[in-house]
């Protein structure tokens, strides 16, 4: 049975969750937050969406195969480890630049990598479980 | 810089495997990455051998606060030998693993194991060591259950549950240790322990929990059940990889812990470890002789041979440790090769039941020679590498006045020879029995199209040649192992090297 109110709320709420996740991701360097928790909250948004609309709609919504999301998350995190090595420092050392007054550095890059990896991983797990349970309303 | 590469190289390959899932030459890319890893390991060994130790502080945080990667002679040798084992397994897998498993991430998770193993050998921080153990456990669990056959899942569940229990013990011990010491950097803990006359008794629970964790990982005697219950179920190349790498990581960590911490309480630990070593040797070899499945015999033998390594550790003399290190390296290569031959037998005959098999020498003499070399190296016949290892260990045992354990080792050697001869007679020598109905020979899990087996032959042959060479030209290797043992006996060098800030 379709529930129009629930569907509208959930599809709006997805954006709220992802937006809040991004907020936590960027806030995470000095205050509570970070890539892992942000990734979990974003994935929880997709999970809510999936419970109401089914796993196929989630995959339509994110457009990319979760496998590639996981791969690129690992790649971003690896870059954060390798960039300091090209400057002659040990891997994972924080390297900072400033862009229009905002300090940007490899720790942020690493956090973004973790965020992307966690989203890809959880979406991949729950879409697979939903397919096994035939949860496609 | 080179010390970080054994960790980052497998990670880079894993990213490749995620992003290019349908790439058709993935076998060859994996083989290339394994070759690169071998090169890195060789360079690391050369650098460690000239400088003594190499370290790197992750993220440029100084030692007790950040995560240290450190390679001394022992870890560099272990990284090199596991790179050789891994490369042989990758070459072997090209023609022995079916396309379905390959496209479902066989190479991805194999490199996960490599990353975990290399990381454990290089970790200088206990919690970091735990994390590498988990990386290894997850990747190996997936490989174990990969393909989802019925008996395979049964083995995988036992494997996962018992290894999770081991991780539980290990992490509980880490928690207690951190509560007492306030640090988890191995060198820092060892330095703080040196300030005490005797080991403070508050630390014993932590060390016993960690010891039990390592003993489960390393398949030592009271805790070995998971190994023979699971190693005969996955595809042959996976078993070969596990037999070469996984238990050895637990034993390596035990050696590291004993040399840094536990030897300060040696009146408690030394008899315990020697008893466990003797019991592992005897029980492993006796249960092995009663088995009638090729891979099960070899699996039980792992327990017995791990006992030899722990015996060298329990003696804790330079000679004993050198013998243990040599034996560990020898065993990784010989054991893997024995499992690789078992994989070929399985592929040709469709079964590994010793009672049904036969005539293999007549049909495939080259493979019979490969098996002969690795099996009799395991049994300790000269001039193969196993002879040198056993000779060093028994000599060290007699020199250390531990005649009981030395004679146990000799006695177990005869039983090892007996069960290797049993495999040889049953599989390679005797005529295929007529009365027992031949099994329906299906080339299990392989593609329909016939493939030649040159890669399998080359990888197993190369391992056999390495076994012979390591036995004939053993002198430089033994010298290297003696240097490694000497630096293990003097942990102050290790401690100062990690903690000094440059």
Does residue B442 have a pLDDT over 60?
Answer: no
Residues from chain B that touch A81, judged by Cβ atoms under 8 A, are 8
Confidence of residue B31 (pLDDT cuts 50, 70, 90): very high
**Interface predicted TM-score (ipTM) of this complex, two decimals:** 0.90
Euclidean distance between CA atoms B175 and B189, whole angstroms:
14
Does residue B448 have a pLDDT over 80?
Answer: no
Of all residues in chain B, what percent carry a pLDDT higher than 90? Answer: 58
* CA of B61 vs chain A CAs: smallest distance (Å): 8
Euclidean distance between CA atoms A133 and B146, whole angstroms:
21
| The pLDDT value given to residue B35 | 95
Testing the interface with A: which of B1, B3, B10, B15 to mutate, by most A Cβ within 10 A? B15
Does residue B361 have a pLDDT over 70?
Answer: yes
Q: Does B14 touch chain A (CB under 8 A)?
A: yes
**From A8-12, B23-27, B122-126, the region with the lowest mean pLDDT:** B23-27
Q: Are B345 and B374 in contact (CB under 8 A)?
A: no
Does residue B450 have a pLDDT over 70?
Answer: no
- Indicate the average pLDDT of chain B: 89
Q: Tell which phi-psi region holds residue B463, choosing left (phi > 0), alpha (psi between -120 and 50) or beta.
A: alpha
| The pLDDT value given to residue B484 | 94
Under an 8 A CB cutoff, do B15 and A74 touch?
Answer: yes
The helix/strand/coil state of B454 is helix
More confident residue, B30 or B362: B30
Under an 8 A CB cutoff, do B19 and A68 touch?
Answer: yes
Lookup: tokens for B373: 């070399």
Q: What is the pLDDT of residues B169-198, one digit of tens each?
A: 999 999 999 999 999 999 999 999 888 888
Confidence of residue B208 (pLDDT cuts 50, 70, 90): very high
| The pLDDT value given to residue B443 | 45
Does residue B441 have a pLDDT over 50?
Answer: no
Testing the interface with B: which of A92, A95, A110, A117 to mutate, by most B Cβ within 10 A? A92
Whole-model pTM over 0.90: yes
| The pLDDT value given to residue A117 | 95
The helix/strand/coil state of B156 is helix
Q: Of the candidates B18, B59, B60, which has its C-beta nearest A70's C-beta? A: B18
Under an 8 A CB cutoff, do B4 and A74 touch?
Answer: no
Does residue B353 have a pLDDT over 90?
Answer: no
Q: Say how far residue A11 (Cα) sits from the centre of its chain.
A: 17
Lookup: tokens for B451: 């493939």
Confidence of residue B437 (pLDDT cuts 50, 70, 90): low
DSSP of B245-286, one letter per residue? HHHHHHHHHHHHHHHHTGGGGHHHHHHHHHHHHHHHHHHHHH
**Residue linked to tokens 């690129």:** A72
The helix/strand/coil state of A97 is strand
Does residue B268 have a pLDDT over 70?
Answer: yes
Q: What is the pLDDT of residues A78-137, one digit of tens each?
A: 999 899 888 888 888 888 888 887 888 888 999 999 999 999 999 999 998 998 888 765
Residues from chain B that touch A84, judged by Cβ atoms under 8 A, are 60
Does residue B444 have a pLDDT over 50?
Answer: no
Does residue B446 have a pLDDT over 80?
Answer: no
Q: What is the pLDDT of residues B397-432, one digit of tens each?
A: 999 998 999 999 999 988 899 889 988 988 888 887
In terms of CA atoms, which chain B residue is nearest residue A95? Answer: B59
Report DSSP state, residue B201.
Answer: G
Q: Are B386 and B472 in contact (CB under 8 A)?
A: no
**From B230-239, B450-459, B461-470, the region with the lowest mean pLDDT:** B450-459
A15-35: buried (b, 16+ CB within 10 Å) or exposed (e) per residue? Answer: eebbeebeebbeebeeeebbb
Q: Tell which phi-psi region holds residue A47, choosing left (phi > 0), alpha (psi between -120 and 50) or beta.
A: alpha
Q: Are B355 and B292 in contact (CB under 8 A)?
A: yes
Planar angle of CA A93, A91, B137, nearest 5 degrees: 120
């Amino acid at each position: 049975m379709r529930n129009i109110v629930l569907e509208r709320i959930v599809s709006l709420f997805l954006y709220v969750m992802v937006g809040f996740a991004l907020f936590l991701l960027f806030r995470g360097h000095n205050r509570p937050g970070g890539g892992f928790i942000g990734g979990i909250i974003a994935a929880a948004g997709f999970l809510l969406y999936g419970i109401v609309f089914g796993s196929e709609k989630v995959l339509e919504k994110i457009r990319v195969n979760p496998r590639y999301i996981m791969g690129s998350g690992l790649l971003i995190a690896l870059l954060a480890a390798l960039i300091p090595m090209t400057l002659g420092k040990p891997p994972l050392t924080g390297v900072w630049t400033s862009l229009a007054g905002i300090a940007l550095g490899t720790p942020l890059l690493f956090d973004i990598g973790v965020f992307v990896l966690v989203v890809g991983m959880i979406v991949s797990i729950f879409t697979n479980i939903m397919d096994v349970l035939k949860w496609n309303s | 810089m080179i010390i970080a590469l054994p960790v980052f190289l497998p990670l880079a390959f894993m990213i490749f495997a995620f992003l290019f899932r349908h790439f058709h030459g993935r076998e060859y890319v994996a083989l290339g990455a394994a070759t690169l890893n071998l090169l890195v390991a060789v360079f690391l060994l050369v650098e460690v051998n000239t400088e003594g130790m190499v370290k790197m502080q992750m993220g440029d945080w100084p030692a007790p606060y950040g995560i240290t990667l450190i390679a001394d002679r022992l870890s560099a040798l272990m990284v090199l030998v596991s790179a050789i084992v891994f490369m042989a397994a990758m070459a072997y897998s090209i023609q022995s693993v079916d396309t379905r498993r390959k496209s479902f991430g066989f190479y991805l998770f194999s490199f996960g194991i490599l990353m975990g193993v290399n990381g454990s050998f290089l970790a200088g921080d206990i919690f970091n060591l735990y994390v590498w153990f988990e990386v290894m456990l997850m990747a190996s669990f997936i490989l174990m259950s990969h393909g989802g056959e019925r008996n395979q899942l049964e083995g995988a569940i036992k494997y996962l549950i018992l290894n999770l229990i081991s991780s539980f013990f290990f992490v509980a011990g880490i928690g207690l240790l951190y509560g007492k010491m306030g640090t988890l950097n191995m060198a820092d803990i060892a330095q703080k322990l040196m300030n005490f006359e005797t080991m403070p008794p508050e630390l014993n629970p932590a060390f016993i929990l960690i010891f039990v964790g390592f003993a489960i990982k390393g398949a030592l005697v009271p805790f070995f059940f998971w190994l023979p219950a699971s190693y005969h179920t996955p595809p042959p190349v996976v078993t070969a990889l596990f037999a070469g790498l996984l238990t050895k990581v637990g034993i390596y960590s035990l050696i590291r812990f004993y040399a840094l911490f536990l030897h300060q309480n040696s009146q408690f630990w030394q008899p315990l470890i020697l008893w466990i070593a003797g019991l592992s040797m005897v029980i492993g070899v006796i249960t092995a002789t009663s088995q009638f499945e090729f891979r099960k015999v070899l699996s039980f033998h792992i327990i017995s041979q791990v006992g030899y390594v722990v015996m060298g550790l329990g003696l804790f003399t330079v000679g004993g440790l050198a013998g243990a290190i040599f034996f560990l390296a020898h065993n990784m290569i010989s054991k893997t090769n024995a499992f690789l031959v078992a994989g070929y037998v399985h592929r040709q005959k469709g079964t590994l039941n010793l009672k049904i098999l036969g005539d293999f020498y007549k049909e495939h003499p080259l493979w019979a020679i490969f098996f002969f070399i690795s099996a009799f190296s395991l049994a300790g016949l000269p001039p193969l590498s196993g002879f040198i290892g056993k000779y060093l260990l028994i000599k060290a045992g007699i020199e250390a006045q531990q005649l009981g354990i030395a004679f146990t080792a000799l006695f177990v050697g005869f039983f090892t020879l007996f069960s290797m001869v049993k495999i040889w007679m049953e599989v390679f020598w005797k005529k295929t029995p007529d009365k027992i109905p031949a099994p329906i020979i299906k080339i299990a899990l392989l593609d329909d199209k016939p493939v030649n087996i040159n890669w399998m032959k080359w990888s197993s042959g190369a391992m056999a040649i390495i076994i012979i060479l390591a036995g004939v030209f053993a002198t430089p290797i033994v010298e290297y192992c003696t240097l490694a043992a000497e630096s293990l006996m003097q942990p102050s060098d290790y401690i100062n090297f990690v903690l000094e800030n440059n």
